[in-house]
């Protein structure tokens, strides 16, 4: 007996005992238009509820930062209510099939104002705590459902190999073993939420090994998870986003496929394909990787989603591009704006026999299987669901989990003369551009796609400064930016500076997302990459180097200016990845990698003042010089796994 044949009686789950029967019965009633509609995912700004009904749309998404009304949970619930109601309005032309709404809740439901925003994955990888990851998944599921949303495009299972990649922070680690330890736990946390499993048994095995076997109905308490980006997104040459991962198959399986196994075993219901290529072949058209490996060999029984406009670069003719993606095994296509063109083009390709009807039926059956397995046909409209508009959204209980995650994510790289832990009674100067900036703490995919700076947009939570102020009455905040002039002078504050016992200087990167965070020469990545708003093929990377002193020279200036006046400096780095900080570290008495801690910056003070010890360990090699080749530093400053405790021993 395998785990997919143990269908529980309907009474136990509220969902029909045999999902497969329901799938096939509904599929048999569907027209080609209704089937292709189910495979189509527009973005909310480009589709109305009425169009969802008229075109039988199966899913709608919010791109990063695409938020309804005042961007509060109630606004999201109202929007989802409208889409759901339209999708369920059965008539002579339309079958009632509930629409699935998807968002990037990749570190909490961070699009929404007031959400609990967790550290990005790289910090969680430093924490080395799989149990915490599962709890984060459960809290995230609650805050996604509070918005009436059913599906998150998480977890990212990228195994980042080169810190020049703008999405390094979305990776838990450069070690596939660490990513694999987390993969199953985050999927369970997200899909189970607070109740019964939401795994639908779509994972490994599944009937005849092709993943099409009967699916165990589940109690819908979680949200649908999405393992991404299949496959090798973190291994591109020189870390170029959407670039080419040039490795042999053994290395691809070892480094990038491996973490998906525990995700499938945990029953992940959807997988998103990568915009990158493998040895020059686009993953979005890679039948071997999608149909043969993921669905065949690994037995994935859920459905496969394309990424944002992932079909565009596959062919000049849009219909042919759509056919290439669907024939490779993609079941649902994320076509934010060109969804009408997609529907017409795919229909034509089916009618010409380029896309077999059997492939369409398999795709739609997979989508229906997920919707039935999650009990979506039994769920009331979003506004009537338990959990919608929940007062647990952004609650203290949730924020405590996030604050624990911040504490555990911090990595102590230097602590000379025992300057840490800081004395609560000391006169402490706090400065630096990230000292009092909850937006910078959160990084990308927070309220906006590229993230935000400042505190206004991040409702709730604490900045690093607010955490310090709460425990150290003698602490003083100096200017958000550099607290000294370009010559390292403090002007008429020279005397005041010398009255401080220590300084905490919080520096690092501005928020970014995806290719906008790449470190490389500016200019087109490759022709035809036009899915980014920065314009066809041209996007501005973050910078040309990983050296902080070149990216943001104010940091070194401030640290040196204070140190030269005999003030011990604790430098806290807020960044999405390891940076080259040799000079800043040499001038600091203590140096802490804080990654992108999210909304609960007070977690930093918890450790700086010794309430908790450091337990974080580097999830990636820390480079000591120019990063070249496959992301391996010319010289390594600290190895993966390095991290100090307050008393100086290694974690
Ligand atoms: C983006 C990202 C993907 C995200 C999707 C929807 O391009 O590659 O991770 O889930 O679009 O926002």
* 395 close to 569: Cβ distance less than 8 angstroms: no
Clarify whether residues 369 and 433 are in a common domain.
no
Clarify whether residues 239 and 364 are in a common domain.
yes
Contacts of 502 (CB under 8 A, 6+ apart): 419, 422, 426, 427, 428, 429, 567, 568, 569, 570
Clarify whether residues 372 and 434 are in a common domain.
no
Higher pLDDT, 451 or 221: 451
Output the ligand 1 site: residues, CB below 6 A. Answer: 63-64, 104, 153, 228, 275, 307-308
Q: Whose CA is nearest to atom 1 of ligand 1?
A: 308
pLDDT band at 210 (very low <50, low <70, confident <90, very high): very low
Structure confidence at residue 212 (pLDDT): 44
For residue 531, is it within any domain?
Answer: no
For residue 526, is it within any domain?
Answer: no
Clarify whether residues 87 and 33 are in a common domain.
yes
Of ligand 1's listed atoms, the one at least distance from the Cα of 228 is 9
Q: How far is the CA of 602 from the centre of ligand 1 (A)?
A: 30
Answer whether residue 202 shows pLDDT above 70: no
- What domain range includes position 434? 410-416+429-464+478-489+500-515+548-615
Quote the number of domains for the chain. 2
pLDDT band at 213 (very low <50, low <70, confident <90, very high): very low
Clarify whether residues 323 and 436 are in a common domain.
no
Clarify whether residues 444 and 315 are in a common domain.
no
Q: How many percent of the chain have pLDDT more than 70?
A: 89
Q: How far is the CA of 308 from the centre of ligand 1 (A)?
A: 6
Q: What are 393-402's pLDDT values in tens digits? A: 999 999 999 9
C-alpha distances in Å from residue 64, one per residue of 110, 147, 307, 336, 452:
9, 15, 13, 12, 12
Answer whether residue 530 shows pLDDT above 80: no
Clarify whether residues 326 and 442 are in a common domain.
no
Average pLDDT of the segment spanning 299-317: 96
Q: Whose CA is nearest to atom 6 of ligand 1?
A: 63
Q: How far is the CA of 617 from the centre of ligand 1 (A)?
A: 28
Q: How far is the CA of 485 from the centre of ligand 1 (A)?
A: 40
Structure confidence at residue 619 (pLDDT): 98
**How many Cβ atoms sit within 10 Å of the Cβ of residue 553?**
14
For residue 1, is it within any domain?
Answer: no
What CATH number is given to the structural domain containing 446? 3.40.50.1700
Clarify whether residues 134 and 32 are in a common domain.
yes
Of ligand 1's listed atoms, the one at least distance from the Cα of 170 is 9
For residue 179, is it within any domain?
Answer: yes
For residue 584, is it within any domain?
Answer: yes
Q: Taking phi first (over 0 means left), then psi (-120 to 50 degrees means alpha), and beta for anything else, what does residue 441 get?
A: alpha
Q: Whose CA is nearest to atom 8 of ligand 1?
A: 307
Q: How many whole angstroms separate alpha carbon 605 and alpha carbon 471? A: 8
Structure confidence at residue 391 (pLDDT): 80
Clarify whether residues 236 and 92 are in a common domain.
yes
Of ligand 1's listed atoms, the one at least distance from the Cα of 275 is 8
Q: Whose CA is nearest to atom 7 of ligand 1?
A: 308
Mutating to test ligand 1, I would choose from 111, 153, 445 the residue with most ligand atoms within 8 A of its C-beta, which is 153
Mutating to test ligand 1, I would choose from 62, 104, 106 the residue with most ligand atoms within 8 A of its C-beta, which is 104
For residue 606, is it within any domain?
Answer: yes
Mutating to test ligand 1, I would choose from 64, 160, 168 the residue with most ligand atoms within 8 A of its C-beta, which is 64
Lowest mean pLDDT among 200-209, 223-232, 327-336: 200-209
Clarify whether residues 149 and 282 are in a common domain.
yes
Q: What are 326-382's pLDDT values in tens digits? A: 999 999 999 999 999 999 999 999 999 999 999 999 999 999 999 999 899 999 999
pTM of the model: 0.93
pLDDT band at 479 (very low <50, low <70, confident <90, very high): confident
User: Would you name the residues annotated as active-site residues?
Assistant: 307, 514
Average pLDDT of the segment spanning 483-493: 83
Answer whether residue 615 shows pLDDT above 90: yes
Beta bridge partners of 524: 538
What CATH number is given to the structural domain containing 140? 3.20.20.300
Query: What angle is formed at CA 438 by the lines to CA 434 and CA 442, rounded to 5 degrees?
Result: 95
Q: How far is the CA of 307 from the centre of ligand 1 (A)?
A: 6
Q: Is the Cα torsion angle 374, 375, 377, 382 positive or negative in sign?
A: negative
Q: Whose CA is nearest to atom 11 of ligand 1?
A: 308
Answer whether residue 211 shows pLDDT above 80: no
For residue 252, is it within any domain?
Answer: yes
pLDDT band at 493 (very low <50, low <70, confident <90, very high): confident
Clarify whether residues 438 and 323 are in a common domain.
no
Of ligand 1's listed atoms, the one at least distance from the Cα of 449 is 12
Of ligand 1's listed atoms, the one at least distance from the Cα of 531 is 7
For residue 446, is it within any domain?
Answer: yes
Structure confidence at residue 253 (pLDDT): 98
Q: How many whole angstroms separate alpha carbon 29 and alpha carbon 19? A: 16
Structure confidence at residue 463 (pLDDT): 98
Clarify whether residues 378 and 448 are in a common domain.
no
Q: How far is the CA of 255 from the centre of ligand 1 (A)?
A: 22
Q: How many whole angstroms separate alpha carbon 61 and alpha carbon 78? A: 15
Strand spans (E) along 265-308: 270-273, 277-278, 281-282, 303-305
Q: Whose CA is nearest to atom 12 of ligand 1?
A: 63
Q: How far is the CA of 228 from the centre of ligand 1 (A)?
A: 9
Q: What are 117-145's pLDDT values in tens digits? A: 999 999 999 999 999 999 999 999 999 99
* 139 close to 398: Cβ distance less than 8 angstroms: yes
């Amino acid at each position: 007996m395998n785990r997919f044949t143990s269908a529980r009686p309907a009474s136990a789950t509220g969902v029909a005992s045999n999902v497969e029967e329901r799938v096939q019965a509904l599929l048999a009633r569907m027209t080609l238009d209704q089937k292709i509609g189910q495979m189509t995912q527009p973005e909310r700004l480009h589709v109305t509820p009425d169009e969802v009904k008229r075109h039988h749309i199966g899913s709608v998404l919010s791109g990063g930062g695409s938020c309804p009304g005042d961007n509060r949970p109630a606004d999201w619930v109202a929007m989802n209510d409208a889409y759901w109601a339209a999708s369920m309005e059965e008539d002579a032309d339309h079958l009632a099939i509930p629409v699935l709404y998807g968002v990037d809740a990749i570190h909490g439901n961070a699009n929404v104002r007031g959400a609990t925003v967790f550290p990005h994955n790289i910090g969680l990888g430093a924490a080395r705590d799989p149990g915490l990851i599962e709890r984060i998944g459960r809290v995230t599921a609650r805050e996604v459902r509070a918005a009436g949303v059913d599906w998150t495009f998480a977890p990212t299972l990228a195994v980042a190999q080169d810190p020049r990649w703008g999405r390094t922070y979305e990776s838990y680690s450069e070690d596939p073993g660490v990513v694999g330890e987390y993969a199953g736990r985050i999927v369970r946390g997200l899909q189970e939420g607070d109740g019964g499993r939401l795994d639908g048994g779509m994972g490994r095995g599944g009937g005849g090994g092709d993943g099409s076997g009967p699916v165990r109905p589940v109690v819908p308490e979680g949200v649908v998870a999405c393992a991404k980006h299949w496959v090798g997104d973190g291994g591109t040459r020189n870390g170029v986003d959407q670039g080419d991962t040039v490795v042999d198959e053994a290395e691809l399986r070892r480094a990038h496929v491996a973490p998906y196994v525990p995700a499938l075993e945990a029953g992940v219901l959807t997988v998103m394909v990568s915009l990158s290529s493998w040895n020059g072949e686009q993953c979005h058209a890679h039948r071997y990787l999608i149909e043969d490996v993921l669905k065949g060999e690994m037995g994935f029984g859920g459905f496969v989603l394309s990424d944002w406009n992932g079909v565009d670069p596959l062919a000049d003719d849009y219909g042919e591009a759509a056919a290439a993606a669907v024939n490779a095994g993609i079941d649902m296509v994320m076509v934010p704006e060109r969804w009408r063109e997609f529907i017409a083009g795919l229909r034509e390709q089916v009618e010409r026999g380029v896309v077999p009807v059997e492939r369409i039926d398999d795709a739609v059956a997979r989508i229906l299987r997920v919707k039935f397995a999650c009990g979506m046909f039994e769920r009331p409209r979003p506004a009537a669901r338990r959990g919608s508009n929940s007062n647990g959204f952004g609650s203290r209980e949730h924020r405590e989990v996030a604050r624990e995650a911040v504490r555990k994510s911090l990595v102590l790289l230097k602590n000379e003369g025992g300057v840490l832990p800081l004395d609560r009674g000391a006169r402490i100067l706090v400065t630096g551009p990230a000292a009092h900036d909850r937006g910078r703490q959160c990084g990308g995919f927070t309220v906006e796609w590229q993230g935000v700076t400042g505190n206004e947009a991040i409702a709730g939570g604490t900045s690093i400064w607010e955490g310090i102020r709460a425990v150290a009455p003698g602490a003083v905040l100096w200017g958000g930016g550099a607290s000294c002039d370009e010559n390292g002078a403090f002007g008429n504050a020279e005397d005041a500076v010398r009255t401080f016992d220590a300084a905490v200087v919080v520096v690092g990167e501005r928020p970014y997302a995806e290719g906008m965070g790449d470190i490389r020469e500016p200019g087109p990545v490759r022709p035809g990459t036009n899915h980014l708003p920065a314009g066809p093929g041209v996007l501005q990377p973050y910078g040309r180097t990983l050296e902080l002193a070149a990216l943001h020279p104010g940091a070194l200036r401030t640290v040196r200016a204070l140190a030269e006046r005999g003030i011990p400096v604790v430098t806290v780095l807020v960044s999405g990845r390891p940076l080259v900080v040799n000079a800043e570290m040499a001038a600091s008495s203590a140096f802490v990698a804080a990654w992108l801690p999210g909304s609960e910056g007070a977690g930093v003070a918890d450790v700086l003042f010794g309430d908790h010890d450091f337990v974080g360990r580097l999830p990636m090699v820390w480079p000591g010089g120019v990063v070249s080749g496959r992301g391996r530093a010319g010289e390594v400053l600290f190895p993966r796994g390095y991290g100090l405790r307050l008393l100086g021993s290694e974690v």
